[in-house]
Amino acid sequence: MRIEKRFLTEMNRCYSASSIVVDGQTRILLATEGEGPCLAWSGADYDSVDTVWDGPGGTMSMVPIPGSNGEFLAVQKFFRMFQCEEAKVVHVRPLATGGYAVRDVLHLPYIHRFDLLTVGERHYFIGCTLATTKDSKEDWSNPGKIWVGEFRGDGALEVSILKDGLSKNHGYSRLTRSGHMTALVTCEQGAFEVTPPQSPGADWTVRQFMDWPISDISAIDIDGDGELEFATIEPFHGSYFRVYKQIGGKFQKVFEHPEVSEFYHVVVGATLAGVPVFIGGCRRGKQQLFYVHASRSAPLELRAEVIEEGVGPSNVYVLHETGRDIIVAANREKAEAALYFVS
């Protein structure tokens, strides 16, 4: 596997990464969790950049709107883990004349992760609040919630509480199995799989499948046996990057990253050059961006390969293109936006 890095720009507290497609062309998005911009790169080699917004910043998540011409939803004003009372979701629309129109669609204090899950022609919003109120960074006395609603495309988003009592409600990833989208949500209480209504008027369902403190999670069949493995960061902003496999109906740890260091923050299940991997990253210690893959020889074992040290990624996003894959990296601790081309 060959990996080549391209530095895009300096960005203080670079945090969120995503992409959109406008008029058939991909635009890569990177935004800051601090006060500052969201930028978009386009062109065959992503060498053209424009500004989506100059501020306010505080961007945790950016999610494309299915079926649109590059529209997306994003979090703004989530600042410094405890000054998040003004956090909100905005709707962003690229303009034919250039630039972007940005409008508020949901005010939801402490909204951290969110997504749009598609069932047939309907799109369902799921949002996770880190907490409900906080007096300080260390205050976790008022747990977070899962909020849900149907996204109809126009007007304000209307949401209701699906589940509450989720302390340090930090982790989220989308899981697609047999064409069906569900959500994985993690917190101090463990890991939950959340399924949207499968028919109009039906209920959301919540199923707990892990019961120990988990900061973040992702799933992929890394060893090709037809069963999902789950990579986790433990506990909140934790010191351990682990992979679990169900054996005999119970989760057993089959891998732990050799570096024990606080603030692991990246865990993404994806394919790189056709190989299933977990991409990981840590914001302390060696500040590595790495991937974990299964050995091709018996006995089976999982191995970690370093992509780069000293970058301290907060989040990554993977794009698949003809002949190459791209890891879009928000290298927060190095204050940079970067691309890693994989072939």
CATH code of 313's domain: 2.130.10.10
Residue 338 resides in a domain: yes
Among the listed residues 241, 243, 285, 283, the one whose alpha carbon sits nearest the alpha carbon of residue 261: 285
Residue 278 resides in a domain: yes
Per-residue pLDDT tens over the stretch 305-325: 999 999 999 999 999 999 999
Q: pTM for this structure?
A: 0.96
Residue 81 resides in a domain: no
pLDDT exceeds 70 at position 47: yes
Quote the domain boundaries for residue 341.
215-343
pLDDT band for 65, please (50, 70, 90 cuts): very high
Looking at residue 335, its pLDDT comes to 98
CB count in 10 Å sphere of residue 10: 10
pLDDT exceeds 80 at position 296: no
Residue 131 resides in a domain: no
Tell me how many domains the chain contains.
1
Per-residue pLDDT tens over the stretch 125-182: 999 999 999 988 899 999 999 999 999 998 899 999 999 999 999 999 999 998 999 9
Residue 33 resides in a domain: no
CB count in 10 Å sphere of residue 71: 18
Residue 169 resides in a domain: no
Distance between CA atoms of 175 and 209, rounded to whole angstroms? 14
Residue 73 resides in a domain: no
Residue 315 resides in a domain: yes
